[in-house]
Amino acid sequence: MRIGPKPALLFGFVLAAAALAVTAIAWKTRPPEVRPESSAFAHHSLYSQYDFTPRENVIHLGTQPLWSFAGNVMEAMRRDAVLKKELVKLGLKIRFHSFLTGADINYFVERGDLDGGICADMAIFRIASRVPVFIPVLTDRGYDEIVARKVVQLEHLKGKRIGVPLGTSTHHAVLDGLRLSGIGEEEVAVVAMQATEMAAALNEGRIDACGIWEPLTSSLLQSCPGSTVIHRSQYLGFLYFTKSFADRHEQAVRQIVAAHVRATAWMLRDRDNILLSCRWASEASAPLASKTESPFSVDDMVQAVVKASGISRGALIPSSVLKEGGQLHRELDFLKRRGHLPPETDWLTVRAMFDRTILQNILVDPARYRLEEFQYDGGKGYECNASLRPPDDPKAGFFLGLRFRMAICFGLLLMGVMTGILLSVAFGFPLTNWDGVYGHEQTSAATHLNVVADLKKERFLLWLEQRKANVRALSQNGIVEKSVKELERMVREKRAEGISPDVFWSSIPREPTYQSLLRRLAIVMGSYGVFERIRIADAEDGVILAATDGIALGQSVADLKAFRQAVMGSRYEWVDVILEPQTNRPYMNVATAICDYDLRERGQHKVLAVVIAHIDTDEFLKPMLYTGGGVGATGEIILVNEDRRILMSLSHPLASGNLARELEHQIQGKHTQLACMGKEGLVSTEDYRGVSVLAAYRHLPIGPDQDWGMVVKQDKADILGPVWETVGTTLAVGTAGFLISLIILLAIVNRLAHPIRMLSQTAEQARRGNLSVRAIVGRKDEVGRLAESFNSMIERIQGWQGVLEARVQERTSQLQDANDRLAKEVDKHRQTEEERHRMERQFVQAQKMEAIGQLAGGIAHDFRNQLTVIKGYAEMLLRRGLVGEEGQQYIEEILKAANRSAAVSADLLSFSRKQTLRPNVVDPNDVMSDTVKVLLKTIPENIELKIKRGPNGGHILIDPDLMKHALMNLVINARDAMPGSGRIIIETANATLDAAYVASHPDVSPGAYVMVAVSDTGEGIAPADMAKVFDPFFTTKPVGKGTGLGLAMVYGFVKQSGGHIAVYSELKHGTTFRLYFPRVDAVVGAGLAEEEPAPPHGTGTVLLVEDDPAIRKMIRDTLQDYGYSVLVADGVDHALVMAGEHGGEIGLLLTDVIMPGLDGFELSRRIVSANPAVRVVYMSGHAAEAINGKTPMLTDVPILTKPFSAKALAEAVWDVLRKTPNAGN
């Protein structure tokens, strides 16, 4: 962007009018945004010779050889002898087919000819919306870039024309970058064009900037001198398969993914491998290039692959891009808004197609998948030096002048031209590529800063890769491995002998093995001269086995992030920066695993220890980055981690005057945020001192899922100071010359241009509405004829055309405003309706569950009363011996059926939240362990049961028995969902449900919870069944295999315990139930009561109050069998009369709770107040929660829950009476 005046008087008013006219015409005639033609129909004739048969035992994959890095990897896989051998074992072969674009591959996948292929993110969404696919691996991570001329910052693109290929990731990246800079899409002109057209469009001035990607970026920069990259945004590429193929050939998919990992590692080992893969890609693309113009050369391809290799090392799909609101989610919404995807395309459905587990399983077992066996068939050499054909230079020009009379002014006008040249030298010339001294210097400064930033980034990544290689070489040294094994053996022996740690750690340095290992570490430190110290820690507990600083022996480094990552990801080197506690100085840790080579030869994998190399960042890293200069006197390089915290000391104090501390101070600003998000560019901003700077930000891919940022900045005053001095001198000279020429020119032109000025004034009056005005015709030359023509034109204008047009325009504006307001109201109404429908659905669901719960509770209560009678009399028949041996068997079957019915009744009450709870503060890990002991007997050997105990400290207030019952129901359901093999995981963890979660789950309160989860790898739950999984009696099991009350019981128990339950399921992948219980402080729970002997026959008088005659008779007979005297009352009034008559005899009141009139609580209170010696036992078919609105019950009084056994009844009566001295006298 140029700053300063323009040579507006260079050719007078004619040049200014021409510039405005050209700009207006270019704006009004900009190409409309149109959808590109699907390449499936544009290119499918190129592939008519492809043979997609046979389909039975041959895997057909589509590849894009012209897609740098991803295409090169696929070409290496095409020649992978290991892959071919592994597929032959499975009875399969593989065939690769070359295509120009991902849309072409999708076309043949949808048609059924291909089993999968490679595509960028946007193409993946298109095929996923039409065909179920399976996406296991990331093939590429590159950059979409914005290239511009005369513009060095995104903020300056407002009102400019930007060329983009519509509906691509580049299109989204351009709009996303503009949005981050505060520019809306409507504030720029989007010009639809193919990527190969952009170089010519930039050179011809048809566009001001364009969105493009490598390797086309390099070709464009060469073809358009003066252009520069002003913004970068990361795009992703994937290898995918159709879901039907992945389900049928899971092992084949694993071998293909392993081949991808193997090919990537092979390419990154050597630059010659990259060159060879590029030649293979050129050979594969040759048939296509013969029928369509190749967009770039092989040299461009090699350059692009080298660039991409720095960010394409990890094939694991980053979890961050799969999050809701992440990069892929935003891109999918973008395609839906543009109409490139059906509106019903659902993010969660697409998200379920991505799978990270297959690649994770492959990486932890490298021997099984032969990840380090590189066997690639050779290919013939191929060289191509072709490059993009530069466009023809634009031809433009015009001739200005007034014939005859203005010819005498040419000499004086020449002086004005010279003045214009001076101004053009300073600020550039309109409608040309010349930017002037100011624009050139500013662009050069920005370009220089970009180059410096790229060099610093390359130097840092190269330096870091060297350090990783140093540590990797040390970890793979056989002597080091043996020494570590020996040290671990000695430590284990000394620990087994019971030797004090202080004693045996002090003796370790005297061991020859330790001294030999220490000498080798010292040699490594001396050879590289970078490492401050090197430590080797045991992989199991993090204890330091060897260290160049001997004081660290025996200390644990298990809490270091680099240590934990190295243990988990043993194939990589991990980098972290920490503050040394003793010196409070920042150190960089480079860690990697030492693996057991002997086990690895046998196809096993074990991490023995971790090598941790420490580097002083201020002593080595900072000088390394500043070596070579390039940032000027006020320049500075800032290195930040993924949290935007500085990793090196700053050169200046903060704006507050304080010094920033490493790993504590966070650099605010959009540039560091964009750098850590994987974007690169240049921005004008204020730094941490509040000083205006020009900053180039760069993305540093440190490792898998580990992104740092680098900012190279320089004060604007330092950059633009010399420029303004040059511009000032040029302007001073130009202004003086221009004023002299203007004075002379005006004196001469004033006489010559007088008739024209009079005609202009007349035209201005007519323009303002005075149509009665006429021009004076006093000459016979061109001006006279022009005046006559003007008068004729005015006379032909009729009426109020101008007024009518003004009114039409005003009315149009009013209608447009009304339409805008209506659109806003419609959108607001739509959002309101959606929210109302959502709330209605939640309300209806809550009402339904409440109604079902009330119905279930009522049924269970009546059911329990009948079961009480059945069980009581069946037990009485057995107890009294009234039936023979055969009859006794029948009675026992009746009791079993009654007990099963009682269990169903309990589940109904649990769902209705009316079950009697006996809550206690417990550790969920203990409950889980107790439950697993029982479950082990019910889980078959083909199903793995895995336990994940959460951290101690999370306690919950629940009924432990019902909790065990709930876990058993969930595990049994999980078992039944896996008729073959599978895995069940039971885990606990502390969780916090925040306001955002509560907003979408109104039945939950925010706070601290303990989560208990049960997961399986079964068939999953169909989406249509998700809303009914907790309904009573709903089951998908065959008839006779389930009651449909298991999940209903779990739901009711969780809700009654004040908790929350959530379920997540994916078809063919499994289901997870998460139970959240409020976290409480740990207290000592009540211990289990000691088991007491069977109740003996008792004595005393019992007043029985029960309104159900069948239950009343059964209880009376049972108590009499146990030796008690029983007074029977059929209601409250009768009971009060009998209590008055037999007050001194009654030792115990046995009463139902819910009865007509007074309830059992009020009855007991009256009788006890009259005779305090009377003890009380309650009976109820309801739970305490169902009757807590009644009169409060007496304290410490037991409640017998119906149906109860004769034994339970006798125990309760005997237990209460035996604790009462002289009960029932």
**What global pTM score does this model have?**
0.43
Q: Looking at residues 1103-1123, what average pLDDT do you find?
A: 87
Q: How far is CA 1145 from CA 1047, 1134, 1173, 1215, 1224, in A?
A: 49, 16, 10, 19, 6
Read off the DSSP letter of residue 666.
Answer: B
Is 828 in a helix, a strand, or coil? Answer: helix
Per residue in 48-72, pLDDT (tens digit) is 788 888 878 999 999 998 887 888 8
Q: What is the CATH number of the domain that holds 945?
A: 3.30.565.10
Per residue in 1056-1082, pLDDT (tens digit) is 888 999 888 888 888 999 999 999 876
Statement to judge: residues 1198 and 1136 lie in one domain: yes
Q: Where are the alpha helices (DSSP H) in 1122-1159?
A: 1132-1141
Q: Looking at residues 287-296, what average pLDDT do you find?
A: 57
Per residue in 526-535, pLDDT (tens digit) is 888 888 889 9
Statement to judge: residues 1055 and 948 lie in one domain: yes
Q: Taking 80 as the threshold, does the pLDDT of residue 109 lie above it? A: yes
Per residue in 535-585, pLDDT (tens digit) is 999 888 888 888 988 777 888 888 888 888 888 876 778 888 888 877 788
Q: What is the CATH number of the domain that holds 1130?
A: 3.40.50.2300
Statement to judge: residues 614 and 636 lie in one domain: no
Q: Taking 90 as the threshold, does the pLDDT of residue 778 lie above it? A: no
For 305-318, letters b (16+ CB in 10 Å) and e give bebbbbbbebbbbb
User: Which of 242-256, 704-718, 1014-1028, 1175-1189 shows the highest mean pLDDT?
Assistant: 242-256
Name which residue leads in pLDDT, 427 or 358. 358
In a domain, 683, yes or no: yes
Of the residues 330, 363, 396, the one at which a domain ends: 363
- 1195: which 2 tokens? 């304290």
Q: Looking at residues 619-636, what average pLDDT do you find?
A: 78
Q: Taking 60 as the threshold, does the pLDDT of residue 1037 lie above it? A: yes
pLDDT given for residue 772 in this prediction: 65
Q: Taking 90 as the threshold, does the pLDDT of residue 611 lie above it? A: yes
Per-residue confidence at 24, pLDDT binned at 50, 70, 90?
A: very low
Of the residues 598, 619, 640, the one at which a domain ends: 619
CA gap 511, 506 in Å, rounded? 10
In a domain, 470, yes or no: no
Least trusted range by pLDDT, from 18-22, 205-209, 474-478, 741-745: 18-22
By percentage, how much of the chain surpasses pLDDT 70?
A: 78
Average model confidence (pLDDT) across the chain = 78
List, in order, residues 6 or more apart from 878 with CB less than 8 Å away: 888, 891, 892
Q: With CA atoms as reference, report the closest residue to 257 among 336, 153, 144, 363.
A: 363
What is the total count of domains within the chain? 5
- Quote the longest CA-to-CA distance of the chain: 146
Per residue in 930-939, pLDDT (tens digit) is 888 878 878 8
Q: Taking 80 as the threshold, does the pLDDT of residue 23 lie above it? A: no
In a domain, 844, yes or no: no
Statement to judge: residues 684 and 704 lie in one domain: yes
Q: What is the CATH number of the domain that holds 523?
A: 3.30.450.20
pLDDT given for residue 1039 in this prediction: 61
Name which residue leads in pLDDT, 2 or 467. 467
CA gap 38, 46 in Å, rounded? 14
pLDDT given for residue 16 in this prediction: 39
Q: How far is CA 888 from CA 618, 868, 898, 1115, 1119, in A?
A: 89, 19, 15, 21, 22
Statement to judge: residues 504 and 594 lie in one domain: yes
pLDDT given for residue 133 in this prediction: 95
Can you point out the beta strands (E) in 1055-1158? 1060-1066, 1070-1080, 1101-1105, 1125-1129, 1146-1152
In a domain, 199, yes or no: no
In a domain, 188, yes or no: no
H or E, element range at 19: helix 12-28
pLDDT given for residue 58 in this prediction: 94
Statement to judge: residues 1008 and 1144 lie in one domain: no
Statement to judge: residues 321 and 451 lie in one domain: no
Statement to judge: residues 449 and 481 lie in one domain: no
Q: Taking 70 as the threshold, does the pLDDT of residue 908 lie above it? A: no
Which single residue is written with the structure tokens 């199903």?
A: 943
Name which residue leads in pLDDT, 1023 or 1011. 1011
Statement to judge: residues 1060 and 1022 lie in one domain: yes
pLDDT given for residue 347 in this prediction: 92
Q: Concatenated DSSP letters for 308-327?
A: HTTT----SPPGGGGSTTSH
Asked whether the beta carbons of 1055 and 852 are under 8 A apart, the reply is: no
In a domain, 814, yes or no: no
Q: Where are the alpha helices (DSSP H) in 632-715?
A: 670-676
Q: Taking 80 as the threshold, does the pLDDT of residue 685 lie above it? A: yes
Q: Looking at residues 209-233, what average pLDDT do you find?
A: 84
Per-residue confidence at 1182, pLDDT binned at 50, 70, 90?
A: low
pLDDT given for residue 32 in this prediction: 36
CA gap 778, 540 in Å, rounded? 107
In a domain, 854, yes or no: no
In a domain, 415, yes or no: no
Per-residue confidence at 41, pLDDT binned at 50, 70, 90?
A: very low
Of the residues 363, 381, 410, the one at which a domain ends: 363
User: Which of 745-759, 792-806, 1172-1186 shows the highest mean pLDDT?
Assistant: 1172-1186
Name which residue leads in pLDDT, 808 or 986. 986
Name which residue leads in pLDDT, 378 or 691. 691
Statement to judge: residues 487 and 560 lie in one domain: yes
Q: Taking 90 as the threshold, does the pLDDT of residue 210 lie above it? A: yes
Q: Looking at residues 164-188, what average pLDDT do you find?
A: 87
Per residue in 308-351, pLDDT (tens digit) is 554 445 678 888 888 888 889 988 988 888 888 888 888 999 99
Q: Looking at residues 1141-1152, what average pLDDT do you find?
A: 86
pLDDT given for residue 675 in this prediction: 82
Statement to judge: residues 599 and 635 lie in one domain: no
Q: Looking at residues 613-629, what average pLDDT do you find?
A: 80
pLDDT given for residue 1066 in this prediction: 84
- Residue numbers of the domain that contains 577: 476-619
Q: What is the CATH number of the domain that holds 290?
A: 3.40.190.10
Statement to judge: residues 132 and 276 lie in one domain: yes
